[in-house]
Chain A
Amino acid sequence: MPLDLIVVTPQGEAFAETVEQVVLPGSEGDFGVLESHEKFLTALKPGPVEIILPDGSSEWAAISDGFAEVSGSQVVVLVDECFKAHEIDLEHAQHTRAEAERELAELLAQSASEEARVEVETTLVRASAMIEAHGRHHG
């Protein structure tokens, strides 16, 4: 039953608790981790994370791209950023997403450099992940 989830970002440890189960957005699709999962290492894509606490309630968070390392009873998630659902400012995220969508359309129209496009896309994906995590948490 015990599964230690540790989420580490360059800003520090974002989350370190014992959980029942965690569902992560892997690069090859979402996957859930229960205790004594086999040793496993994968890339993560930006998206919502579901954390099921020992009391059965679930908590949501949004992560950026990164990695997950599963070994026995421990899951270590390495990401650039992690926002818990209740910390997310929905209005701000929606505004950012709308802005990024508009910018992206503009960049595509004028065939801008790939670098600029990737940057806007990153912002877009990030905002979308935040909105989704927020929505699941409150829905």
Chain B
Amino acid sequence: MPTLSDIKRRIVSIQSTQKITSAMKMVSAAKLRRAQEAIEAARPYAQRMRETLEEVGGGETNHPLFEQREEKARVEVVVITSDRGLAGAYNGQIIKATEAFVAERRTGATKVSLTIVGKKAADYFKGPRGIEVSSARPVGPNVNYLEAKQVAGGLISRFESGEVDEVVIIHNEFVSAIAQNAKIVPLLPFVPPVAGDDAEEGTEAQAPYEIEPNPERLLTSLVPKAVEVELFRALLENQAGEHAARMTAMENATKNTEELIEKLTLEYNRARQAAITSELVEIITGAQALE
């Protein structure tokens, strides 16, 4: 039977845990809002980029980054997780999806290697997992475009040189604040958007653009940018998803501490009552003995 002071100590300790988890929840909520704003801010750029690409690339299919290779000697997987834990199953599901993907794609002639963004995946795959890691970097506190550009640039040059034949991204898709799903997105070879899917009536009748220097040259600089944007979007979604997952995890943790404190308080009160009762019994029996 724990003593009164034992129970009291446990209650105090759980209360301080509760303070931490509820503070973390609030911080995550604020960061989530900012991350969502960043996603919103990036949307017009991605949208216009796609429109421009449709304009220039319509019908053009011989760009080096569009090349579908029959034989795939090496598949590169960009794995995106968070840097920190305490976010529920957020990173676990990415790692699981990655392992499943690697197991599926790694056959006789095909090698699979990983480009990791995020310390959690980096730590996991650093161990003896039998999966080659070509590079690993942290996500950092704030996603910025230049970083996405750097990673994309490396992948593009490896694709162009023929070292890598296919690139896919595995990241958490930000569905909502309570749902993030692991998603596999093909990055290279790049699939050009097809004009006409969402083209409004009458747009085709418009005069074509004068393109300078010429469509081929413009496409050469446009396509890598579209790849960068795709990677940037994945990083932004990862950022929002991480904060959302942590917010949910911390909310649950806070709820659990509340339940635990309630249970312990009950136990504490029972123990106190038992102590009082036994004291009373002692006094009464003592008094009776004197009569």
Q: Which residue in A10, A38, A39, A76 is a CB contact (below 8 Å) of B145?
A: A10
> Interface size class for chain B?
20 to 34
* B147 CB, nearest partner CB in chain A, Å: 11
Main secondary structure of the interface of A (DSSP, over half): strand
| Chain B 123-148 near chain A by CB (<8 Å), digits 1 or 0 | 00000000000000000000001101
Does any Cβ of A come within 8 Å of B212's Cβ?
Answer: yes
Does any Cβ of A come within 8 Å of B221's Cβ?
Answer: yes
B-side contacts of A119, CB under 8 Å: 150
Contact (Cβ within 8 A) B218 A115: no
CA–CA, A30 and B230, complex, Å:
30
> Interface size class for chain A?
20 to 34
Contact (Cβ within 8 A) B212 A39: no
Does any Cβ of A come within 8 Å of B89's Cβ?
Answer: no
B-side contacts of A42, CB under 8 Å: 211-213, 218
Main secondary structure of the interface of B (DSSP, over half): helix
B-side contacts of A26, CB under 8 Å: 212
- Report the nearest B residue to A41, measured CB to CB: B209
Does any Cβ of B come within 8 Å of A15's Cβ?
Answer: no
CA–CA, A135 and B46, complex, Å:
32
User: Which of B9-17, B26-34, B49-57, B170-178 is the contact stretch?
Assistant: B49-57
Does any Cβ of B come within 8 Å of A8's Cβ?
Answer: yes
B-side contacts of A13, CB under 8 Å: 41, 44
Interface residues in chain A, defined as those with a beta carbon under 8 Å from any beta carbon in chain B? 8-13, 26-28, 38-43, 65-67, 69, 71, 76, 78, 80-81, 115, 118-119
